[in-house]
């Protein structure tokens, strides 16, 4: 079994000793770690270190950084998912799975058919979403935390998404000729990809038209209707398989 991993903000790694509290401290206790045992610490920005547990107290664990670990599990392809807001815990599932797959950014998006419409930039769930991404990074052994952006409107997302080398909006009404294979099989591997996925009920026709007018390609995902959370995860997986390192290199 590999040494346990913890994700800390870069500034926390400057302290001596490095300190774990809160959920990380509880994780130490769950694992029954003892002084002298070794763990791994990542700064969430691409650097990772071997560390040794010095002591485990009632309110903190103290560690000593040892040597840096040289490995790079991050994909070269930068995939951003603009995900229409969904009900319940569906967005939490999406964040967890696209983090494991290798997406670098998720932007929660308010669409006309969104049944949840918080004030942009003021969603109280954002810290929970970011913690879910952090825990997923720890589990899947990535070294960089994906960005979980503040909630944005559809028009804001379109304006930003169109700047990627390849921007795609998933269209549940797409014809066979507009399938992923037909339209994208000959596309030269991009460095950045934006994916727009609608909420339950999909995009309104006016939204789909606005995205296409902005230069975003409308692509279908096949003959079956996918749930919003399935479509987002599947699209990220396709992009990273098609042009990235998913499935091996």
Instruction: Round to whole Å and give the CA distance between 24 and 61.
Output: 9
> Which whole-number Å values give the CA distances from 4 to 20, 27, 57, 140, in the listed order?
13, 9, 18, 12
Q: Is the pLDDT of residue 176 over 70?
A: no
Q: 5-69 — its CATH code?
A: 2.40.240.20
Q: 78-242: which CATH architecture? A: 3-Layer(aba) Sandwich (3.40)
Task: Count CB neighbours of 10 within 10 A.
Answer: 12
Residue partners of 144: CB distance under 8 A and separation at least 6: 44, 45, 46, 74, 104, 137
Tens digit of each residue's pLDDT (9 = 90 or more) over 181-227: 888 888 899 999 999 999 998 999 999 999 999 999 999 988 888 99
Domain locations along the chain: 5-69, 78-242
8 A C-beta contact, residue 175 and residue 202 = no
Residue partners of 19: CB distance under 8 A and separation at least 6: 12, 60, 61, 62, 63
Question: How much is the pLDDT for 202?
Answer: 92
Instruction: Round to whole Å and give the CA distance between 189 and 138.
Output: 29
Binned at pLDDT 50, 70 and 90, residue 18 comes out as: very high
Would the pTM count as exceeding 0.85?
yes
Tens digit of each residue's pLDDT (9 = 90 or more) over 27-44: 999 999 999 999 999 999
Q: Is the pLDDT of residue 123 over 80?
A: no
Instruction: Round to whole Å and give the CA distance between 50 and 24.
Output: 16
């Amino acid at each position: 079994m590999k040494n346990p991993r913890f994700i800390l903000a870069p500034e926390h790694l400057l302290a001596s000793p490095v300190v774990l509290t809160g959920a990380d401290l509880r994780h130490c206790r769950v694992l029954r770690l003892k002084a002298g045992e070794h763990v791994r610490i990542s700064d969430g920005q691409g650097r990772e270190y071997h560390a040794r547990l010095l002591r485990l107290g009632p309110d903190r664990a103290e560690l000593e950084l040892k040597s840096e670990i040289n490995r790079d599990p991050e994909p070269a392809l930068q995939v951003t998912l603009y995900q229409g807001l969904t009900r319940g815990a569906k967005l939490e599932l999406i964040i967890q799975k696209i983090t494991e797959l290798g997406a670098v950014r998720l932007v929660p998006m308010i669409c006309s058919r969104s049944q949840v419409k918080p004030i942009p930039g003021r969603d109280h769930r954002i810290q929970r979403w970011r913690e879910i991404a952090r825990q997923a990074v720890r589990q899947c052994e990535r070294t960089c935390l994906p960005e979980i952006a503040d909630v944005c409107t559809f028009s804001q997302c379109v304006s930003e998404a169109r700047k990627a080398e390849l921007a795609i909006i998933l269209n549940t009404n797409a014809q066979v000729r507009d399938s992923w294979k037909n339209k994208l099989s000959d596309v030269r591997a991009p460095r950045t990809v934006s994916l727009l996925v609608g909420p339950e009920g999909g995009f309104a026709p006016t939204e789909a038209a606005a995205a296409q007018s902005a230069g975003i390609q409308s692509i279908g995902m096949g003959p079956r209707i996918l749930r919003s959370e399935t479509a987002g995860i599947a699209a990220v997986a396709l992009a990273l398989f098609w042009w990235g390192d998913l499935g091996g290199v």
